[in-house]
Each structure stands twice: as C-alpha cells, then as structure tokens.
A and B are shown apart, each in its own frame.
Chain A
C-alpha cells in the first residue's frame, strides 16, 4: 500500500535499480500495428538469441507501447546504460522493420559487441520524432504498460499525491481551468469549466466517465494511450474525481479494443492493490472506484448521452440536451465525461503547473494533440505535436511529404465529422478555431493526406456511407437524410447525376446539419460541404448535364430549325 511520497520513491528506486542491473534494455513494440507486422516473433527471436548468446544477465527484453512510426514497424529500441563508442556515444538506438533474422543480428553485433546495425537505425533527428512534443504519449513506447512499477518509476502517481496532499478540490479545478486544456474528444469544450460544473453540482452521488469509444474510422490515438499507458488515464480520472467529488468512475471502451480492456483492467487491479483506488486512497479521506465498461462498437455510442445510456444498459442512442450530463447524467446523477486523451493530460498539468501547459499551443488552444497520420505520406503513424504547428509542417516535414511525382491535394481532418482542407491552406496553424474556420474540425485526431489520385467525391461518399451505417435512427433528418445523401453521392460518382441532384444534395446537407438531434447528424454533411466548397469543379465535372452541354443542345435545336 502506497501512503506517502517515500512509498512511491521506494518503488521507483527499486524499479530503477532493477533496470540498472542490465547493460541493455531491448524495448520491443507490442502495439497493435507492430504486432500485426510480426512484432511478436521479433520479441521471441530476441529472447531466444539472447539466451543462446548467454546475455540474459546483461539484457532485459521489455514489451512496450507504440513508438509512433507504425509504417516502419516492427520497431525496436535498444537503450544502453553505457554510451557505446561505435554509435557515437548514443545510449538509445531505434531500429525499424525488424524481423527475427535482424533481431539475431542485433543481438550478436549490438548487444554482444556494442556495435549498432547502422543500416536499420532510424535517426532520432528525423522530424517525425524530433518535432513531437510528447505529453500524453510521454510513456508510450518507454514503459511496460502492464507494470505499475514502470509507471511509478517515471514519476507516475506523483501528481495524484500532490493533488491530494497539497491542494483542495477547488484548487485542482482552478488549475485545470488556468491550464486552458480543452476536450480532446472533438468538441474542444474547456475541460476546467466542465470540472467546475460537476464540482458545484449538489448531489449525493456523482460520476466521472472516460470516453474511450473512438469510433472514427482510422483513428487509434485513444487506443494507444489506453494500451500503452493505462495508469496515466486512471491517475487523471482519480484526480478528476477528487476535484469534483465523484465517488465512482467508468472507463467506456469499445469491444474492438480487447488489449486496451485487458490492460486497463490489469492497471485498475494494480492500482487497487497499491491503495491508489478504492477507499482511503493514499491513506487520505478520499475514495474512488473505477470500472471498465465495454461498448458494442457503435460510433454513436461515443456521443456522450448515448454513451451514458449504454453504460446504464439501455439502447445506445442520444437523448436531448439539456439537461447536460453534468446536470443529470448516469442514473440521474451529475456526471462528467471527458475523452481519455483529455484525462491523460491531467497528471502532467498538476505536476508541471498550469503555466507550463499554457506555454504550449496557440492563444485559444493550449497543449498538444495526438494525430493519426494516414494516407499518401512517406511516414505514417502516431504523432503528438504542440498545437499551433502548421498543417504543412506535419505533412511535409514530419510525414515526409507525399510520394515522389505526386501532388498533395488535401488533408482530411476530423474523420466523418470533419472536412477536407486544400493544399492552399496548409500553412494554417492548427487549433480548434482555425480548422473550424476552414470548414473542418480538429475532431479526435484523424489526419488523412490525399494526393491527386484521390477523388473528393469518393471521399465524401465514403464518409457519408459511414454516417448512414452508424446513424442510430432516432431522428428523421439523420436517419433518412444520410440515406438520400449517400445515394445522391453515389449517383454523382457514377456520372449519373444532374445539376438538380446536386441542388438536392446541397438542400439535404443544409437541412440535416441544422435539424439533426445529435452531433452525428449535425456533422454528417461536413465532408460533402467542405469538398463542395473547395473542389466544386470535381462535382461539376461529373454531372450529366453540365451547363455547356445544355447550351450545345439548345444551339443544335436551333440549327435544326426546330426552335
């Protein structure tokens, strides 16, 4: 049971000593992308050849979380206690595209003889890594997510101790308010404001809920945090509970994330055993318990009121707001929902202070954001960047630009609720407002780069199909509107549509956006609207009756003397 600072220190020291016995620490990515690229076999190969070489007392093999550059996985990092001469005095070497044979070579050359296998080494100066600012992903790829000791050795649970022993709940709320942190679930609602609402709510029971539903196609920011650093989320939620007076919390994770579920459950068990969850946390007069709830994988269950219904065991569909969850949420009690990435920022804000957090980002949007880079880029994967970085920096510098001979066309952010930003606007500094101004949104962090081969109509159609399939069907505009909009887009993409159809599509977009009950329907037209705004000609080129043709016909009639 951890009761004090010195208890945390003891665990941390033991863990550090434990690591220090080894000359090398081989960190094998154990995250979903690398696993599907064969990371499991790589780890086994390391273990086998280390055994064969008799290096067991000197080398520790650790499964760690995502190191980011998923397109070049499996990734393996070797951390050495002593800088080795051959690698220019570096203590850390990152290998890409590791297979079992390479693992053997690394073992024989690097681990046994201190000579890095240069051909496979990724430079840490690569902008993909160098330009990141890792706050919520600080531990991802560094620790074994299944060991609480690893987390504690990197300063984990210090923030909770600090909050509980030196701050009043109100001071915690104020500190989050001052930090300028905004919700990472898409909307960007000021987190401190939400916490204050729950703090001020008068009720016998209050709840905090972490939204780990992450239903956007292609998004895996939240999954990575949950899988690679589960204790960070637990610590953030526990601090939130202390600040707001909640006694119970739920982590809502979709069923498609079995690894995240398992790691969170393991982490909860460990935290309980150490007295970091349950009654009398850290021996203080404060109790909080936490449970994982598994969602059945409907996108709409990420919407907060649908999520709460789902936790209660009801059909996962949105209900009218107001009342807002902070007024009436789970089982009619005040409830606060934050995205898991939002919670993952909390411990760092408490430890390093609101001013430190405020110093990162833009005027309106502070801190960092995790994006999942995908599409036609040379480097794809997960990055955490300071807000205010430009789209172009991400695309051209970090992502390495589009493949040779191709032209960058647009960046899609915000997934099915977002929009396509054309190349001409890539110098925009990213924050919540600037992206919205361009007709897109920050969203949860999807970032898809498109080149000239990509048809904007097809992109719009893809996302509309997604929204149509994920509409809960409660309200008419979204239920029937997405069906019609999809059919019209399909017709356009097959060059079977007329200008009348396009007008109908635009009418529907306007109606569905403004009349739908929840965010799904309200944002479903966005991909269409933004592509129409910037790439209207692409739509027009597909019309069966584009204006010139109509004119031609008229002239022909006249020429035939029928006019």
Chain B
C-alpha cells in the first residue's frame, strides 16, 4: 500500500512495510550505516542510522523503522550529527586501528564514516585493548584489533552460508567474535571456506591471506545478491538480464 511520509521537510511516497533506510536510499538521502547490510537480518546495534521521529522522544534506527502513513522524520539534525561523530570516535578509541599498516586502508567503511563525519581527531582515550590475530585458516585471516563488532560476519555466515561458524562471546568491552566453540578458525569444522564473512566485513578485520597493505577490497554486495537471488529464484546478475 502506498503511503505518505516526510523526510527532512520533504514529502515523499513509499510502500508500507518498507524501512525508512530503504526509502531514504532510494531518494538519495544520505544516512550513515555500519551494522546494516542489505541481504542480512537487522541488528540495529551500531546506532549510526538513528533519526528523530516527530512526536516521539526516542530516536529510532532507520534500518529497522518501518514507515507508516504520516511518518515525519529528520535525519541530519545537529544533535544527530553530534551523536554520530561521537559514535565513530568511540569506535576508533575502543579498538586498535592503525590504518597505515592495515590491509583495508582506503577501502574501509570506518574510514569512510570518519571522513563523512569530519572526524579529525579523537576526543576519547584510546583503550589499546589486547586482542588476538588468528591466522590459522589456510585462506583467510582475522585480526580482532580492527573488529568493530558489527556482527555482519556472524549473520552472513549463519543466514547466507548456513554454517554459523562465528558468534559473539564475552560482554561489554570484552565482547568479541569467536569461531566455533572459541577454537582457532583453522580448526573450525563448521567453516566451508566460502569467504562470505570476509566479503562483508566493513573493516580490515577479516581479510584474504596474501593481501598487503591497502589491497583488501571487500564485496559486501554479494550477500544481497545471494539473498535476493534465492528469494526470486534467479541467479543471473542484474546487469546481464
């Protein structure tokens, strides 16, 4: 059913049941996201896509907010921009992000977000956590120092590949990604080496072995392709049709 909504004082039409993020993207309204990835379930955990909804004191994540008739939102108020910038700063402060030696330098969603938000320095104290690097898998590597806990790998592996190799263990600042029952990735018998987790990782935490600094390009769109191909039973690439 078509409905009317208003984004940033602009009257728009959308289909009931769509999320605000879908509508915003279609209309070319920018909204930062990190945990969201087309084709995967919604986690709503990075909180970057929060928007102000008229008539509600609670901010809502655009990636999960279903549009309804008369919905009126603002996506880029000063307050939201301030919060988003702090979130990105906190992400840098909580991990060990040394871009100069990272495989994803230049191809990193976290870097892109920092540029978008105008982050030029970090106001919060760096935590320098002690984190592991797992190079036991024959094809891929995992450097937890760079992980932003978006859980895209967890969801891609579980929902698209059906292997459920990854999971989250620990809580709070000690929360971290584990493979199988916290075994080295290389001995995780559930892993099919399909590379989907590597494809969706927004940062340089998951990478193909053998790539050097700045060479790791992720292919997050692959899960959307697979998810919609399965839904529509059509495995042709859209361009080829």
A residues within 8 Å of B by Cβ? 298, 300, 315, 317, 320, 468-477, 479-484, 487, 504, 507-508, 511, 514-517
B55 at the interface (CB under 8 A from A): no
B228 at the interface (CB under 8 A from A): no
Q: Please choose the segment from B9-17, B172-180, B216-224, B230-238 that sits at the chain A interface, where 4 or more of its residues have CB less than 8 A away.
A: B172-180
Query: Which residue of chain B has the shortest Cβ distance to A468 in the bound complex?
Result: B172
Question: Do B171 and A471 have beta carbons less than 8 Å apart?
Answer: yes
Given A320-B61, A468-B173, verify A477-B87 contact (CB < 8 Å).
yes
Which of A300, A320, A507 has a CB less than 8 Å from the CB of B44? A320
B170 at the interface (CB under 8 A from A): yes
Question: Do B94 and A511 have beta carbons less than 8 Å apart?
Answer: no
B residues within 8 Å of A by Cβ? 42-47, 50, 59, 61, 64, 82-83, 86-87, 90-91, 93-94, 123-125, 127, 148-149, 167-168, 170-175
Assembly CA distance A317 to B90 (angstroms) = 21
Assembly CA distance A469 to B47 (angstroms) = 20
Assembly CA distance A472 to B175 (angstroms) = 8
* 19 other A-B residue contacts (CB within 8 Å) besides A474-B168, A480-B90: A315-B168, A317-B171, A320-B61, A468-B173, A469-B172, A470-B172, A471-B171, A473-B149, A473-B168, A475-B45, A476-B45, A476-B87, A477-B87, A483-B172, A484-B124, A504-B123, A515-B83, A517-B44, A517-B47
- In the bound complex, residues from chain A placing their C-beta under 8 Å from that of B87 are 476-477, 511, 515
Which of A300, A477, A480, A511 has a CB less than 8 Å from the CB of B93? A480
- In the bound complex, residues from chain A placing their C-beta under 8 Å from that of B50 are 515
Question: Do A511 and B83 have beta carbons less than 8 Å apart?
Answer: yes
Q: How far is the CB of A417 from chain B (nearest CB, A)?
A: 16
The 4 closest A-B pairs by CB, nearest first: A473-B175, A471-B172, A480-B90, A320-B44
Assembly CA distance A484 to B86 (angstroms) = 12
Given A473-B149, A511-B86, verify A320-B172 contact (CB < 8 Å).
no
Assembly CA distance A76 to B58 (angstroms) = 50
Question: Do B171 and A473 have beta carbons less than 8 Å apart?
Answer: yes
- In the bound complex, residues from chain A placing their C-beta under 8 Å from that of B42 are 320
- In the bound complex, residues from chain A placing their C-beta under 8 Å from that of B172 are 468-473, 479, 482-483
Query: Which residue of chain B has the shortest Cβ distance to A315 in the bound complex?
Result: B168
Q: How far is the CB of B42 from chain A (nearest CB, A)?
A: 7
Which of B61, B64, B123, B175 has a CB less than 8 Å from the CB of A479? B175
Which of A300, A508, A515 has a CB less than 8 Å from the CB of B59? A515
Question: Do A515 and B93 have beta carbons less than 8 Å apart?
Answer: no
14 residue pairs of the A-B complex, CB under 8 angstroms, read A317-B168, A320-B64, A472-B171, A473-B173, A474-B43, A475-B44, A476-B91, A477-B90, A479-B94, A479-B172, A483-B172, A504-B123, A511-B86, A515-B50
Query: Which residue of chain B has the shortest Cβ distance to A484 in the bound complex?
Result: B124
Which of A473, A474, A475 has a CB less than 8 Å from the CB of B174? A473
Q: How far is the CB of B178 from chain A (nearest CB, A)?
A: 11
- In the bound complex, residues from chain A placing their C-beta under 8 Å from that of B59 are 514-515
Query: Which residue of chain A has the shortest Cβ distance to B176 in the bound complex?
Result: A473
Given A507-B86, A515-B83, verify A475-B94 contact (CB < 8 Å).
no
- In the bound complex, residues from chain A placing their C-beta under 8 Å from that of B43 are 474
Which of A470, A484, A515 has a CB less than 8 Å from the CB of B47? A515
Question: Do B125 and A487 have beta carbons less than 8 Å apart?
Answer: yes
Q: How far is the CB of B73 from chain A (nearest CB, A)?
A: 15
- In the bound complex, residues from chain B placing their C-beta under 8 Å from that of A298 are 171
Question: Do A473 and B170 have beta carbons less than 8 Å apart?
Answer: yes
- In the bound complex, residues from chain A placing their C-beta under 8 Å from that of B47 are 475-477, 515-517
Query: Which residue of chain A has the shortest Cβ distance to B127 in the bound complex?
Result: A483
Query: Which residue of chain B has the shortest Cβ distance to A515 in the bound complex?
Result: B47
Question: Do B86 and A479 have beta carbons less than 8 Å apart?
Answer: no
- In the bound complex, residues from chain B placing their C-beta under 8 Å from that of A517 are 44-45, 47
Given A473-B175, A511-B83, A514-B83, verify A484-B45 contact (CB < 8 Å).
no
- In the bound complex, residues from chain B placing their C-beta under 8 Å from that of A515 are 47, 50, 59, 83, 87
- In the bound complex, residues from chain A placing their C-beta under 8 Å from that of B171 are 298, 300, 317, 470-473
Question: Do A508 and B86 have beta carbons less than 8 Å apart?
Answer: yes
Q: How far is the CB of B81 from chain A (nearest CB, A)?
A: 12
Query: Which residue of chain A has the shortest Cβ distance to B34 in the bound complex?
Result: A476
Assembly CA distance A326 to B174 (angstroms) = 32
Residue of A315, A473, A480, A508 ringed by the most chain B CB atoms within 10 A:
A480
- In the bound complex, residues from chain B placing their C-beta under 8 Å from that of A484 are 90, 93, 124-125
Assembly CA distance A487 to B90 (angstroms) = 13
Q: How far is the CB of B231 from chain A (nearest CB, A)?
A: 20
- In the bound complex, residues from chain A placing their C-beta under 8 Å from that of B94 are 476, 479-480, 483
Query: Which residue of chain B has the shortest Cβ distance to A503 in the bound complex?
Result: B123
Assembly CA distance A487 to B168 (angstroms) = 25
Query: Which residue of chain B has the shortest Cβ distance to A516 in the bound complex?
Result: B47
